[in-house]
């Protein structure tokens, strides 16, 4: 998961979302706002709704590769995910900064799981099934938000064998609890993802080696740019970002990146 750049929405689309949101916000009772927000979202988040057609196109641009899920970077991301769940935060149901494209396993697994940081403690605010619909405890979101934060400030990948996503070392206790919560809620260490990251790591390394060899053999700039673009189209851009970040500490990567220093400038 990487920090996302934010493509602007056209003004008419922003205005329409604001109009949709106002309809929810003007309902006085919280439980009724939750119910209305959910039903209005499902009736409007359709392929025939002009506003959501644009929203979805913009969300697609924010994904890596072939519209990969922002969270796991592995499966197709084609579900409009509310970073702050609509079940808990009706005030964010139609807010553009609250959307990303996620895959079914990430979106469905996360569902309405959420937590906040309240006085330095992580407080789970997921509403149990059947519980009364009351507002969640106050506090800043614990879940790492890739639209507003750099996930790499919290999370790292073990490139030396397990390919687990782990909290970065040396985090303060609050940041560490946020990292752990995010990993758990998204189930970022499911077996398939470990295999996929390992595979991506090998793929990036092989492509970088090929680039190095072709460059040293005198390939022209067009060929080298094509090799670079192929590398950057490899799924799992977080693995690539981590390879660059960890290269100084992993001898085989260190040699490679020292031989191809321009690779440090290639965008994820």
Closest CA to 110 of 73, 84, 139: 84
159/186 with CB nearer Zn ion: 186
Note whether 175 and 154 are within 8 A (CB).
yes
Minimum distance from CB of 69 to Zn ion (Å)?
A: 3
Minimum distance from CB of 186 to Zn ion (Å)?
A: 7
79/150 with CB nearer Zn ion: 79
When binding is defined by CB under 5 A, the residue of 1, 13, 62, 103 that contacts Zn ion is 103
Q: Within 10 Å of residue 75's Cβ, how many Cβ atoms? A: 19
Minimum distance from CB of 39 to Zn ion (Å)?
A: 26
Two tokens, residue 262:
């321009």
Note whether 121 and 111 are within 8 A (CB).
no
Closest CA to 214 of 259, 254, 247, 266: 259
Interface with Zn ion (CB under 5 A), residue total: 5
Torsion (CA) 40, 43, 44, 49 in degrees, nearest 10 = -160
17/102 with CB nearer Zn ion: 102
Two tokens, residue 55:
């929203």
Please give the DSSP secondary-structure letter assigned to residue 128.
Answer: P
Does 106 participate in binding Zn ion (rule CB under 5 A)?
Answer: yes
Minimum distance from CB of 183 to Zn ion (Å)?
A: 13
Minimum distance from CB of 245 to Zn ion (Å)?
A: 22
Does 185 participate in binding Zn ion (rule CB under 5 A)?
Answer: no
Does 71 participate in binding Zn ion (rule CB under 5 A)?
Answer: yes
What length is written for the chain? 268
When binding is defined by CB under 5 A, the residue of 72, 83, 142, 193 that contacts Zn ion is 72
Please give the DSSP secondary-structure letter assigned to residue 68.
Answer: B
Does 263 participate in binding Zn ion (rule CB under 5 A)?
Answer: no
Only one of the segments 100-108, 194-202, 214-222, 251-259 lies at the binding site for Zn ion (rule: CB under 5 A); that segment is: 100-108
Two tokens, residue 202:
């090998």
CA distance 162 to 107: 24
Only one of the segments 52-60, 70-78, 132-140, 228-236 lies at the binding site for Zn ion (rule: CB under 5 A); that segment is: 70-78
Does 69 participate in binding Zn ion (rule CB under 5 A)?
Answer: yes
Please give the DSSP secondary-structure letter assigned to residue 76.
Answer: B
Minimum distance from CB of 64 to Zn ion (Å)?
A: 12
186/208 with CB nearer Zn ion: 186
90/109 with CB nearer Zn ion: 109
Binding mask 20-59 for Zn ion (x = CB under 5 A): ----------------------------------------
Two tokens, residue 91:
């005030």
Minimum distance from CB of 30 to Zn ion (Å)?
A: 30
Note whether 72 and 106 are within 8 A (CB).
yes
- For the chain, give percent helix, strand, coil, nearest 5: 50, 10, 40
Residues forming the site for Zn ion (CB under 5 A)? 69, 71-72, 103, 106
């Amino acid at each position: 998961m990487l920090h996302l750049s934010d493509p602007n929405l056209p003004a008419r689309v922003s205005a329409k979302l604001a109009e949709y949101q106002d309809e929810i916000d003007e309902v006085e009772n919280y439980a009724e706002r939750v119910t209305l927000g959910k039903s209005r979202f499902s009736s409007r988040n359709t392929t025939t709704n002009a506003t959501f057609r644009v929203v979805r196109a913009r969300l697609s641009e924010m994904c890596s590769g072939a519209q990969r899920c922002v969270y796991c970077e592995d499966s197709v991301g084609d579900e409009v995910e509310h970073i702050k769940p609509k079940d808990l935060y009706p005030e964010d149901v139609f807010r553009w900064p609250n959307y990303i494209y996620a895959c079914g396993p990430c979106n469905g697994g996360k569902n309405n799981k959420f937590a906040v940081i309240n006085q330095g403690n992580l407080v789970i605010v997921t509403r149990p099934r059947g519980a009364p619909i009351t507002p969640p405890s106050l506090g800043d979101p614990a879940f790492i938000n890739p639209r507003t934060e750099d996930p790499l400030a919290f999370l790292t990948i073990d490139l030396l064998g397990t390919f687990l996503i782990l909290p970065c070392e040396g985090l303060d206790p609050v940041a560490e609890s946020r990292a752990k919560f995010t990993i758990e809620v998204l189930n970022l260490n499911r077996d398939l993802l470990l295999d996929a990251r390992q595979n991506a790591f090998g793929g990036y390394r092989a492509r970088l080696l090929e680039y190095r060899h072709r460059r040293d053999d005198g390939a022209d700039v067009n060929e080298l740019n094509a090799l670079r673009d192929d590398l950057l189209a490899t799924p799992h851009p977080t693995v690539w970002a981590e390879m660059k970040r960890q290269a100084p500490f992993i001898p085989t990567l260190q040699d490679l990146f020292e031989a191809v220093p321009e690779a440090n400038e290639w965008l994820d």
